[in-house]
Chain A
Amino acid sequence: MALPNSEFKNTKNLMNRETVSQRIKRRLQLNEIFKYIFLAGLFFALVVLSTLIYDIVSKGAGWVNLDFLRNFPSRRPEQAGLYPALIGSLWLMLLIVPMVFVIGVGAAIYLEEYAPKNRMTSFIEVNISNLAGVPSIVFGLLGLTIFVRVMELGNSIMAGALTLGLMSLPIVIVASQEALRAVKMELRHASLALGASKWQTTFNVVLPSALPGIITGIILAVSRAIGETAPLIMVGAATFISTTPSNIFSDFTALPIQIYNWTSRPQAEFQNLAAAGIIVLMTMLIAMNSVAIYIRNKYTNRH
């Protein structure tokens, strides 16, 4: 902005000290204001989270005990437990993790290390990112059609795990790609210069240094999958089951379904049971995350 001519002549120095100090004051004020806005944002999130946790722990903590973990669901709240749901969720986790690890990381390695950088590849990448935003119920419908009906897996753990695994894959692939991309080119070049093949380089150099990032992606994806109800209900997971699953083709139920069922009951005791179920589910997720964080730190230190 040009200053008016007269003013320019009258003042020797372009910067008017008063204006400058005023402006600086305003900037600093603005700075402060935004700092507090961001702080308020963080505070709000924390307050909501702690209210939720307080609510759940105060309602449910008294109900979590060994019998709660060991018993089958019951019409009598004092005797009710979530054993079949807990076992079902553990089975699901056990199946989903290796599945998304092998397929997800494999796909990411191909896309990052091997695939030619052309339109086809970027078309595939865009579609994978889009898949990450597809609502879980859609994956449930897909699972019902393909795994339950076409592959005739029935309402089994395997059908549930494949559905949830499919749902988690896009997140795992995108996260793994990011992690692989972050590995320094120099590392690859050094390995190749020493005579290692592309596969040796990928497997021994690139993958280990990308592992922390990959594992973070898997934790996020699997944590989401374990908390899902809708796709499992679509593939026909039971709400009550009188036996525990014996193999991957057994019928099953899972923690989120059990919790959802309890919250919709009229009796207040069942609401408390639901809170107790949430505590169990949260503990399971935290345990899973701690294992993953442990593995992650181990590899972060090494490379």
Chain B
Amino acid sequence: MSWMKKSALLASITSVALVGAACGNNEEGGAAEGGDALSGKVVMDGSSTVFPIMEAVAEEFSAEQPEVEVTVGVSGTGGGFKRFVTGETDFSNASREIKEEEAAEAEKNGVEFTQLSVALDGLSLVVNPANDWAQDITIEELNKMWTDTSIKTWKDVRSDWPDEEISFFAPGKDSGTFDFFNEAVLDDTDIREDAQLSEDDNVLVTGVAGTEGAIGFFGYAYYIENQDTLRAMAVEGVEPTPETINDLSYPLSREIYTYVNNASLKDKEQVAEFARFMNENAGALSEEVGYVGMEQARYDENMKMIDEIAGE
């Protein structure tokens, strides 16, 4: 009976798999000793904001070092740090700085790390194109309108603006983007309850593009890609442009980071090589995926730190 053969085959596949599982995994390889071609693993996890840059870096890196297995996960900034502080990952991408609790946890586990700035992003405040009045806004006004539910219309924000109702669109509270906005604009006051939150920035784009009185915020890349359906406001009189974000004159410029495990950097040759490669190329690659590169001096500083820990 052919089906008996089939099920016998299935059964044997399963048992092989299970026996394999029981034997555990001992393939946790390190760096290859010497030679130009490196092998082993580079494990990254963390922010979805930083992901496009790291995907681009990993893509280019694996063209040079095809034997190195680079994995980039997207657990979010907080989720990435949870794995990083136990020493599970070599790099943790973050759209905010590491929190004190997270750093304390790392210390408890004996994980030392270094913060590397990768690129810049400008948190963009966007409105519907039909909104021709709000060209410019101040941080103070933003704080008022995003926290005070008594503000219903644009007129309530500034008296010479029309009596048009405002709809609010913001990233989810777990995102690093929200954390940054919370710190820079909200001053830790709770965001108004009627704001629509979404983890998916494209949902925010659609929301603002489809509602006349809407306001929303997200990373610069999402604004640049949707310029035909959205308009960005100047904040404190400065428009978000690559130049203003780069020289930090745009008030909502923010750095995005990756944290590297010092022990990995020191002991794993492929991690050190990846760190150097990333630092050399992050500027150009981040511009390709919609972010803004930093001043060369900042990358030189990074390189010094990497060399110091990894040893030449």
> Considering only CB atoms, which chain B residue lies closest to A265 in the complex?
B52
A241–B75 touching, CB < 8 Å = no
Interface of B (DSSP majority class)? helix
A239–B225 touching, CB < 8 Å = no
Q: Which chain A residues lie closer than 8 Å to B176 at the CB level? A: none
B202–A266 touching, CB < 8 Å = yes
Which residues between 245 and 285 of chain B lie within 8 Å of chain A, taking CB atoms? 285
Size bracket of the B interface: 35 or more
A266–B74 touching, CB < 8 Å = no
Q: Which chain B residues lie closer than 8 Å to A251 at the CB level? A: 41, 43, 69, 71
A242–B51 touching, CB < 8 Å = no
State how many angstroms separate the Cβ of B87 from the closest Cβ of chain A.
Answer: 13
State how many angstroms separate the Cβ of A79 from the closest Cβ of chain B.
Answer: 9
> Considering only CB atoms, which chain A residue lies closest to B14 in the complex?
A98
A238–B17 touching, CB < 8 Å = no
> In the complex, how many residues of chain A place their beta carbon closer than 8 angstroms to a beta carbon of chain B?
46
A154–B25 touching, CB < 8 Å = yes
> Considering only CB atoms, which chain B residue lies closest to A99 in the complex?
B14
Q: Which of B58, B68, B285 contacts A240 (CB 8 A)?
A: B58
B73 contacts chain A at the CB level, 8 A cutoff:
yes
B90 contacts chain A at the CB level, 8 A cutoff:
no
> Considering only CB atoms, which chain B residue lies closest to A97 in the complex?
B10
Q: Which chain B residues lie closer than 8 Å to A233 at the CB level? A: 73-75
Contacts beyond the supplied A98-B10, A242-B62: 7 A-B pairs with Cβ under 8 Å: A75-B59, A238-B73, A240-B72, A241-B69, A241-B72, A266-B222, A267-B225
**Residue ranges of B at the interface with A (Cβ–Cβ < 8 Å):** 3, 7, 10-11, 13-14, 17, 20-21, 24-25, 27-28, 41, 43, 45, 48, 51-52, 54-56, 58-59, 61-62, 66, 68-75, 83, 88, 200-202, 205, 219, 221-222, 224-226, 285, 288-290
**Residue ranges of A at the interface with B (Cβ–Cβ < 8 Å):** 72-75, 94-95, 97-99, 101-102, 151-156, 158, 161-162, 208, 211, 233, 236-243, 247-251, 253, 261, 263-268, 271, 299
